[in-house]
Amino acid sequence: MHHFAYRDGALFAEDVDLRRIAAEVGTPVYVYSSATIERHYRLFESAMRGIDPAAPAPHVFYAVKANGNLGVLKTLAALGAGADTVSEGEVRKALAAGFAPEKIVFSGVGKSESELAFAVGAGIFQINIESESELELLSKVAARLGKRQEAVFRVNPDIGAGGHAKITTGSAANKFGVSFEEASRLYARAANMPGVRMMGLAVHIGSQIRETEAFEAAYAKMVGLVGSLRAEGHRVDRLDLGGGLGIPYEIPKDFDHGPSLIEDYAAMVGRVTKGLDVELGFEPGRLIVGNAGILLTQVLHLNSRPTKQFLVVDAAMNDLLRPAMYEAYHEIWPVAEPAADMRKLAYDVVGPICESGDTFTTDRLLPELKQHDLIAFMTAGAYGASMSSTYNQRPLVAEVLVKGTEFAVTRPRQSYEDLIGTDRAPPWLA
Ligand code: LLP
């Protein structure tokens, strides 16, 4: 469920008319609903807590990469969420948003020495180590700081899944994690290193996964590994099960409840980890923020050709990369509510960027639209603004957070001064 709906003929975000946001902030602009973010976080957190009500509550580390807007992060920090980060920038942003260091985990295949030093120095909860080389570097960096950093190994289970090849992470061909076969040797090696304390294991097999089967197969493998590591005399207290739960991008008309995938997933995790006696962790991103955001854009031009009707909008692939990068589908809702009997036309919806890849959709049947009409790309809260760029020297897109009847610009549109003024001319051309 989300909180974008038609009211008196116009699309609203909670109690705010999107036409008002367009008029005051301009387009393109991302608009996020606090109520939707809160609802999804609570649904997920309570389902995971329900896995074993007698155990300490599992950790829910929101994956900052999905949407790192300060307003979104503060909303989640206030709900008690932790943060899953993948760069020093994300660690810093999570700290700035009010996440306690003890609620931050740091994953990623390419952490640099200075990034590790920053994270260890900040006192974060856990580092998810992805290679033997990283293990050595982390131990060296932490020992130099006089610390012993709590860490887990991210293991590649050779079971991948995901909505697209580019977002599958768990197969052996993917760059992520230490190999399953080497986990035991590395765990033993880490035990003799001064700068790390191994606490357990992590796994993340991919993103936009809408069935529990692949998760179950990967988690069962991890549970087996926990058992064999313990049999070898190691302590394994934590199991971080990653993120990856998918969401519906095609919104059925009667869709009015939280995805039951959460319940199926919780039941499956309960079954697979029963009696294991580990602290569970989760790293959901898309599930929390995906349908809590839309990209609001305006029709600039209609380019009608004999065989094609192009709808040129003011958002482009630099603002929302997913269709160009993953052939992703986003529903398009006109802001003015279309009459049920309104004529529909097949449009290619494109942005102003000078390459044909800047196409959001082809031959999409939409109610007839005209110049200056506002439309919304739905389900754009995850991996939308967080993947935006300034390609074609387009200022970074603006972001707005709505709460009830209020809205606030949580990232102003980048100014042309900032866009141009941060470059420096070389001295020989100054
Ligand atoms: N944990 C780790 C280690 C990850 O690599 C990811 C996502 C997550 C958690 C969160 O996954 P989620 O729950 O959001 O599926 N840009 C792509 C998605 C890339 C996902 C990368 N890793 C897209 O727009 O579909």
Q: Is the peptide bond before 427 cis (omega within 30 degrees of 0)?
A: no
Res 170: pLDDT: 85
Reply yes or no on whether the pLDDT at 286 is more than 90.
yes
pLDDT-derived band of residue 162, with 50, 70 and 90 as boundaries?
Answer: confident
Which secondary structure element, helix H or strand E, spans residue 376, and what is its range? strand 374-377
pLDDT-derived band of residue 199, with 50, 70 and 90 as boundaries?
Answer: very high
Ligand 1 atom index nearest CA of 383: 24
Note whether 43 and 415 are within 8 A (CB).
no
Res 172: pLDDT: 86
Reply yes or no on whether the pLDDT at 409 is more than 60.
yes
Write down how long the chain is.
430
**Ligand 1 binding pocket mutation candidate from 48, 59, 65 (most atoms within 8 A of CB):** 65
pLDDT-derived band of residue 255, with 50, 70 and 90 as boundaries?
Answer: low
**Ligand 1 binding pocket mutation candidate from 207, 215, 222, 247 (most atoms within 8 A of CB):** 207
Ligand 1 atom index nearest CA of 244: 15
Q: Which residues are catalytic?
A: 354
Phi, psi for residue 177 in degrees, rounded to 5: 85, 170
Reply yes or no on whether the pLDDT at 395 is more than 90.
yes
What share of the chain has pLDDT > 70, as a percent?
Answer: 98
> What's the pTM?
0.97
Res 329: pLDDT: 98
SS3 label, residue 111: coil
Note whether 279 and 48 are within 8 A (CB).
no
**Ligand 1 pocket by C-beta < 6 Å: which residues?**
63, 65-66, 84, 107, 167, 169, 204, 207-208, 242-245, 283-287, 322, 326, 382-383
For residues 2-24, give the mean pLDDT.
Answer: 97
Average pLDDT, the chain: 96
Ligand 1 center–CA 418 separation, angstroms:
29
CA distance 384 to 393: 18
Residue 77 Cα to chain centre, angstroms: 15
What share of the chain has pLDDT > 90, as a percent?
Answer: 93
Res 297: pLDDT: 98
Measured at the alpha carbon of residue 97, what is the angle toward residues 91 and 102, in degrees to the nearest 5? 55
For residues 126-143, give the mean pLDDT.
Answer: 98
Which secondary structure element, helix H or strand E, spans residue 29, and what is its range? strand 29-33
